Amino acid sequence: MTTIRQDGNQDTPTIILDKENNKFEISGKSFPADVAEFYDPVMNWLDDYAEDPLEETVFTLKMDYFNTASSKVILDILYKLEDMVNDGHKVLIRWFFPDDDEDMQETGEEYDDIVDVEFEHIEYTVEYS
């Protein structure tokens, strides 16, 4: 299965979808000009992965910021992971949020309420220089 590794920039997140190394992560900021086009390879990759997933999938989301269009796509990603759970696979979402960002914490809690996937909510401290 092909690995997706994409470095983030000021508008798009870092994406790592690497079955071989058991690393699944989206992190950073997400407000690409065309959200559907940007995330289409991710959605296709997840469809392929769901056909033969690892015994346990730990998916990390460590977002600094995302716009409304990206929030919908993130929910769609979570629904794909929920489908895997419904098919009998073990999935864990690790939702990281900065200790000073109540909105991102609450967003993770809302997603947790919407989908039937195990969540870990992990607070971290941002080091400002």
Is there a domain that residue 129 lies in? no
Is there a domain that residue 101 lies in? no
Is there a domain that residue 110 lies in? no
Q: Bridge partners of 4?
A: 17
Beta strand 90-98 with 118-124: parallel, antiparallel or unpaired? parallel
Do the Cβ atoms of 52 and 12 come closer than 8 Å?
no
Is there a domain that residue 105 lies in? no
Is there a domain that residue 9 lies in? yes
Is there a domain that residue 42 lies in? yes
Q: At what angle do helices 102-114 and 68-86 cross, to 10 degrees?
A: 40
- Mean pLDDT of all residues in the chain? 96
Domain count of the chain?
Answer: 1
Q: Bridge partners of 59?
A: 24, 93
CATH number assigned to the domain comprising residue 35: 3.30.750
pLDDT 10s digits, 52-97: 999 999 999 999 999 999 999 999 999 999 999 999 999 999 999 9
pLDDT score at 129: 62
Confidence of residue 126 (pLDDT cuts 50, 70, 90): confident
Residue range(s) defining the domain that contains residue 12: 4-96+118-123
